[in-house]
Amino acid sequence: MQAPMCWVHGLYADGTGEFLPEHLNDELGDNELAELAQVASDLREHAVRLAGVVVANLPPDQTHEKVREQLKGLGLETAALLPHDDSFEKVTVAEIADTVGADLIYGCESVFKNQRVDSMTIATLDVANLLTHLDNADSNHQLVVVDARRADVILAVALAARLKTIAGLLLTGPAVGEETHAVLADLDARKQLPLPPILKARSGSTYQIAHAVSTTTARMLPTSTSKLDAARTLFDRYLEPRFRNALGAPPDQYEVITPKLFQHHLFTKARRDPKRIVLPEGNDRRVVVAAGELLERNLVELIILGNRDEILAVADEAGVVISEEAKTHVKIIDPNACDPELFDELAAGFYELRKHKGVDLEKSKPAWNSNFFWCTPSTRRLSP
């Protein structure tokens, strides 16, 4: 491998949901080949070489050997040839909530994150006709959009969800009434038959919200666990073995090192053999912020010198938050309130290292009140 960049090329044609004839024949079209050749050329002009090409959304149940040969003919490494997976095209309740600006008020959060939505129903009918409509619908994953004042519809659909899969309820308009809240809270607390995800839009009329829902496109949110798991499974299965092995190539095999790649290798080396660093100006905001980042990245063992309360106050003011695990890699020492035994031990260590230069043990002790005198090799005796 000679470069850290991978190009992903999707094949779905013209947004129609249909594959081109070339794709069904296990080939890339001429326009797609020209595009890939142009991408590779542009990257070379900027001193970046492709590590490989991922071709996504290929027709399933094919070997894709022709595609692999076409890429080889362009001098491109095949990273992965991924078949089309319908699960990535399904809009979820969470994606709709993110689009329209709605919050989950009842229901299971994991269902909310992953429940697919096949269609939408705007609840303008009376309860009986609405339930008949939902029961006769072709889809089992309908999102019902309803005004928050329609307590009858809200409760009826919530209960009907126990008999038919309802993707969720999206409430619009003013706040949900107290009585409706009380009933929903009681149903939600029972847990035997959980409620579907019930969302409340922060603003917008029923028409505006319904329009936003109808234009929502499928995507992958950081919380979309089912889609993320599907993506991992897809790559685990179809990532080319040669490309997978090359990912672990040592950095000296790369011809071009980008700043991010250089930083990655630098951090990797630091984590393998973490060094101990003493920071004498512990009450300096810049020092505290830098220390927080080093600790969270697990790069070093730190000794911070200064008054503990002052250092923590600076950290709080700067918004530095240290995880419990990171706290095991740092020690705060106040030279002005040092344990006498530790003071004598460090002074003795300093004397042993400097006695050949004529340092007097007793005369050097007063200088240890300065933080900078603690930044000597003798601090290797300290362990965070």
Is the predicted pLDDT of residue 251 greater than 80, yes or no?
Answer: no
Distances (CA, A) of 3 to 178, 255, 266, 364: 60, 7, 17, 55
pLDDT confidence of residue 202: 92
Q: Would you give the DSSP letter of residue 18?
A: B
| Structure-token pair, residue 287 | 């020092």
DSSP for 351-380 reads HHHHGGGT--HHHHGGGGGSGGGGSSGGGG
Quickly state the pLDDT bin for 316 (edges 50, 70, 90): confident
Give the up-direction half-sphere exposure of residue 92: CA atoms within 13 A in the CB hemisphere.
23
> Dihedral through CA 113, CA 117, CA 121, CA 122, nearest 10?
40
pTM equals 0.56
Please report, rounded to a whole number, the percentage of residues in the chain having pLDDT higher than 90.
9
pLDDT at 25: 66
pLDDT of residue 95: 93
- Given this model, what pLDDT does residue 352 score? 75
First to last CA, the chain: 40
198, 105 contact by CB (below 8 A): yes
CB atoms within 10 A of CB 376: 15
Domains in the chain, CATH or no CATH each: 5-87+229-253 (3.30.420), 91-217 (3.40.1390.20), 274-381 (3.40.50.10950)
CA 21/CA 123 separation, integer angstroms: 42
Mean pLDDT lowest among 178-182, 252-256, 268-272, 364-368: 252-256
Summarize pLDDT for 32-59 with one digit per residue, the tens: 888 888 888 888 787 776 778 888 878 7
- The answer, yes or no, to whether residue 360 has pLDDT greater than 90, is no
**Mind listing the pLDDT tens digit for each residue in 147-190?**
988 888 888 888 887 666 788 999 998 888 888 888 888 877 77
HEC secondary structure over 57-74: EECCCCCCHHHHHHHHHC
**Which whole number is the average pLDDT over 46-74?**
80
DSSP lists the bridge partners of residue 102 as 201
Q: Which of 27-36, 112-121, 335-344 has the lowest mean pLDDT?
A: 335-344
At 272 the pLDDT is 81
Q: Give the single-character DSSP code of 253.
A: G
pLDDT tens column, 94-121: 999 999 999 999 888 888 888 889 888 8
Q: State how far the Cα of 242 lies from the Cα of 216, in Å rounded to an integer.
A: 38
| Segment 23-28 mean pLDDT | 70
> Lowest-confidence range among 156-160, 263-267, 281-285?
263-267
Residue 378 has pLDDT above 50, yes or no: no
Q: What's the confidence (pLDDT) of residue 127?
A: 85
Mean pLDDT for all residues in the chain: 78
CA-wise closest residue to 232 among 94, 88, 89: 88
pLDDT score recorded for residue 248: 55
Residue 2: predicted pLDDT: 42
Which of these, 15, 170, 147, 145, lies nearest to 89 by C-alpha position?
15
Query: CB-based contacts of 236: which residues, under 8 Å, 6+ apart?
Result: none
What CA–CA distance (Å, rounded) separates 258 from 277? 27
Of 260, 257, 329, 259, nearest in space to 293 by CA = 329
